[in-house]
Amino acid sequence: MPEHHIKLPEGSIEKTTTTLNLGPTHPATHGVFQNILELDGERIVSSEQTVGYIHRAFEKLAERRPLYQITTLTDRLNYCSSPINNMGWHLTCEKLLGVKTPKRVDYLRVIIMELSRISDHLICNSIVGVDAGAYTGFLYVMQYRELIYEIFEEVCGARLTTNIGRIGGFERNFNDIAFQKLEKFLKEYPKVLKEFENLFQRNRIFMERTIGTGAISADRALNYGFTGPNLRAAGVDYDVRVQTPYSSYEDFQFNIPVGTTGDNYDRWLVRSKEMWESLSIIEQAYRKVQEFKGKDADVYHADAPEYYLPPKEDVYTKMEALIYHFKIVMGETEIPAGEVYNSIEAANGELGFYLISDGGRTPYRLHFRRPCFIYYQAFEELTKGGMLSDAIMTMSSLNLIAGEMDA
Contact set with another protein (CB under 8 A): 51-52, 55, 57, 59-61, 63-64, 95-96, 220, 222-225, 236, 238, 243-244, 338-341, 343, 350, 352, 354, 356, 364-365, 367, 369, 373-378, 406-407
Quote the distance between the C-alpha of residue 38 and its chain's center.
Answer: 31
* Peptide bond before residue 336 is cis, with ω within 30 degrees of 0: no
CA distances from 233 to 254, 274, 287, 337, 351 (A): 17, 11, 30, 39, 18
* Minimal distance, residue 14 CB to another protein, in Å: 26
CA distance 57 to 314: 37
Residue 368 in contact with residue 351, Cβ under 8 Å? yes
End-to-end CA distance of the chain: 48
* Minimal distance, residue 55 CB to another protein, in Å: 4
CA distance 293 to 289: 9
- By beta-carbon proximity to another protein, the closer residue of 45 and 54 is 54
- By beta-carbon proximity to another protein, the closer residue of 155 and 346 is 346
* Minimal distance, residue 50 CB to another protein, in Å: 8
Q: Going edge to edge, which strands form the sheet with 338-346?
A: 338-346, 349-357, 365-369
- By beta-carbon proximity to another protein, the closer residue of 131 and 239 is 239
- By beta-carbon proximity to another protein, the closer residue of 57 and 211 is 57
CA distance 322 to 315: 4
- By beta-carbon proximity to another protein, the closer residue of 63 and 251 is 63
Q: For residue 398, which of 263, 235, 258 has the smallest C-alpha distance?
A: 263
* Minimal distance, residue 329 CB to another protein, in Å: 15
- By beta-carbon proximity to another protein, the closer residue of 221 and 392 is 221
- By beta-carbon proximity to another protein, the closer residue of 59 and 154 is 59
CA distance 134 to 207: 12
* Minimal distance, residue 294 CB to another protein, in Å: 36
Residue 401 in contact with residue 374, Cβ under 8 Å? no
* Minimal distance, residue 91 CB to another protein, in Å: 12
Q: Going edge to edge, which strands form the sheet with 34-40?
A: 18-22, 34-40, 43-50
- By beta-carbon proximity to another protein, the closer residue of 170 and 226 is 226
* Minimal distance, residue 68 CB to another protein, in Å: 17
Looking at the DSSP bridge assignments, the partners of residue 301 are 169
Other beta carbons less than 10 A from residue 24's beta carbon? 17
* Minimal distance, residue 242 CB to another protein, in Å: 9
Parallel, antiparallel, or unpaired: how do β-strands 338-346 and 349-357 relate? Answer: antiparallel
* Minimal distance, residue 33 CB to another protein, in Å: 11
Burial-class residue 207 by CB neighbours within 10 Å (0-12, 13-18, 19+): middle
Q: For residue 373, which of 227, 219, 185 has the smallest C-alpha distance?
A: 227
- By beta-carbon proximity to another protein, the closer residue of 72 and 173 is 72
- By beta-carbon proximity to another protein, the closer residue of 192 and 374 is 374
Parallel, antiparallel, or unpaired: how do β-strands 34-40 and 338-346 relate? Answer: unpaired
- By beta-carbon proximity to another protein, the closer residue of 55 and 287 is 55
Other beta carbons less than 10 A from residue 222's beta carbon? 15
Residue 76's contacts (CB-CB under 8 Å, 6 or more residues apart) are 56, 58, 82, 161, 403
